[in-house]
Structure 1
Amino acid sequence: MSDTSGSQTNITDGQQVQLLERVTGSVLTTLPCCVFLFINVTMLFTLRSKPVFCETSRYVLLYNLLFADTVQMALGHLLYLISASRLILTYPVCGFLILLACFTITISPLTLLVMSLERYVAVCYPLRHTTIITIRNTGVAIFVIWALGSLNILTRVLLLLEFPFKDLESLQMKDFCNDVAMVLGPRSNDYDRAFICVLFVSAGVAISFSYFSVIIAARSASTDKASARKARNTLLLHLVQLCLILSTTMFTSLFMALSGILTRILFVRFYIFFYVCISLFPRCLCSLIYGFRDQTIRPVLMHHLCCGFLKPAVSNSKRDRATPGIVLH
């Protein structure tokens, strides 16, 4: 009798410890996520607060990148909280969330690719920048980006439909909802790997090409050295962002492999740390980099972040509109 009571006590203690771990992990990740979401949403509002932001191509592209990153951050944390709460979803619900997350994560590298080409044109062809990089052409580029993302989702849906769901006893999943759990079948797995490889290699080649082209152009006597240097730094930041986005796509697979090696306590601690650093923080990095580096955005962003207590400095909008290829973020 005493042995039974002791075992029940141990089970209860173990459940309490696991509950405490889940609550602690959820709090430690939700707090920075809320802060990052606040910064991103404020940045999105800032980029729609003045005509100069809506009528300049690089700011329109930045808005598109930020929007995708913000949605991705919110979806990723929602999936994290669902897993931390030990909620088992059905395949249709999980598939919808994962496909939406895959859609937004496709937008970011493609937008970085277009932003890099815009910097390349601004430095290497400054006289033709205003005729090539127009709001209309930027809108077409964004449409193509979202169309490619939609095509990727459509292909994934068709591959998911090949899975024999009718043979399952129930549509209830046996594991937590994540991108690896929704890779059903070898064809789906092969397509996922091939698409990620083509996507990130293409973006990496475009950014690298733009970066080295700007370096070569900087040696020309007719090129503005300061503008070329800023463009070079911006393209280098694009490359870092691309690497961080790529790391988020491998996050789940990496920790599924580590789950069989590390102890539970170490696994939870490593997961929380890397989740914040690899999955959450890179999604806010764009706002921090461009918001504080760009002299046009910075005062307006600080005004909104301080809830209106800090008045923005008066900027010369005509100058901003007249030289879109020279003022670099």
Structure 2
Amino acid sequence: MSNNSSVAVGSLQQQISFRVLLVQILVAIFLCINMLLIVTFFKKECFHTSTRYILFAVMLLSDSFVLILSNVLVIINFLQFAIQVWLCTVISIVTLLYVAVTPVTLTAMTLERYVAICLPLRHAELCSTRRSMHCILVIHGISSVPCMLNLSIFFATAPLGRYEQRALCSVEIFILQPWQRHFRSAISQLYFFIMCIILVFCYIQIVKVAKAASGENKQSTQKGMRTVILHAFQLLLCLIQLWSLFTEDAALKADFTLFMDIRYCNYLLFSVAPRCLSPLIYGLRDEMFCLIFCPYICEVHFFLSLGLS
């Protein structure tokens, strides 16, 4: 009996190790792509005057922060390393902020496409470099509201001794009452409901312009439509991440192993995947970005081949 249990524990540890290794590979690949795209953005001044590319760089940076910090938490939890709650609070504030920055930035990019296609004469005025800087501040301000509201409740209800305690860093340590989970979910779903309305409005308006357009304008408009659809798909994945909390709660009450399986799948599909789509949708699909980005890939491949030889 003891042999069977030890074999079961060993196979479980091996399975968990494979899962963590898979996460490391995925995160490493897309962090490298993100870093190359960010370097491409900062090296070419032609991108610095376009709101479209400025917002794209903001989204790449926020996605990279989320991938790095969430991966750090995965490793910490895998090693069963408990840290003090105050340190976990700092990490969580940055993580939750940039988790929200991605969908808010997606919405801003959709609005930029709407202005470019439906209001082309006002695009230079509404999407100037100065307004882009203001837009970045607004994005971070809007994104910080859910995080600050949820953590303010924790700060108001948690005793002072709680911050010095050690625990595995996860969102659950900030939820002291069941209603806090529902409150957090309600705020997030309100945000995403507003974003979905904006997306649907922009898509309908772009479709109207596409029907009236012809020639090159029609091709540009159709490309804008496809971009908005891809943005909607990313937002849908982020929205499902909110609902996944309820499935995890139900699984935790039923079986811990099932809970760990569902949480791992949710992390890959609804946390890592949307952030891996960003460089594919707005980087590698963009002709101008791809034209400048490809030589960097060739240089990296060349230096890697020299190092391996």
TM-score relative to the length of structure 1 = 0.81
Aligned residues: 301
Q: 2:120, 2:273 → 1: CA distance?
A: 34
**C-alpha displacement of 1:270:** 5.5
2:117 to 120, 123, 126: 123
Structure 2: which amino acid aligns with 1:246? L
SS in 1 for 2:206: helix
Higher relative contact order (CA 8 A, sep 6+): 1
Name which of 42, 45, 55 aligns with 1:48.
42
Contact 2:146 2:188 in 1 (8 A): no
Task: Give RMSD over aligned pairs.
Answer: 2.7
**Are 1:233 and 2:226 an aligned pair?**
yes
Deviations 1:133-173 (A, max 9, x none): 11111111111111223344333332111224247697233
**SS across alignment from 1:25:** helix
More moved, 41-50 vs 90-99: 90-99
Letter in 1 for 2:228: L
1:276 aligns with one of 263, 268, 278: 268
Q: How does 1:1-329 map to 2 (within 5 A)?
A: 7=2, 12-166=6-160, 171-173=165-167, 176-185=168-177, 188-220=180-212, 224-261=217-254, 264=257, 271-308=263-300
User: Structure 1 residues 166 and 274, CA, compared in 2 at 3 Å: closer, same or farther?
Assistant: closer
Using the TM superposition, give the Cα deviation of residue 97 of structure 1 relative to its aligned residue in structure 2, in angstroms. Answer: 2.0
For 1:208 and 1:302, locate their aligned partners in 2 and report how far apart those are by CA, in whole Å. 34
More helix by share: 2
Compute the displacement of 1:251 (Å).
Answer: 4.0
Residues 185 and 280 (structure 1), Cα distance of their counterparts in 2 relative to 1, 3 Å cut? same
Shift of 1:62: 0.5
Question: In the TM superposition, what whole-angstrom CA distance separates every residue of 1:168-201 from its partner, at most 9, and x where no partner exists?
Answer: 697233xx43223322335643441232022111
Sequence identity (%)? 25
Give 3-state SS (helix, strand or coil) of 1:219's partner: helix
Distance 1:170 1:76, change over 3 A: closer
Q: Which amino acid aligns with 1:218?
A: A
TM-score normalised by structure 2 residue count: 0.86
Equivalent residue of 1:180, what SS? helix
Helix, strand or coil for the counterpart of 2:43? coil
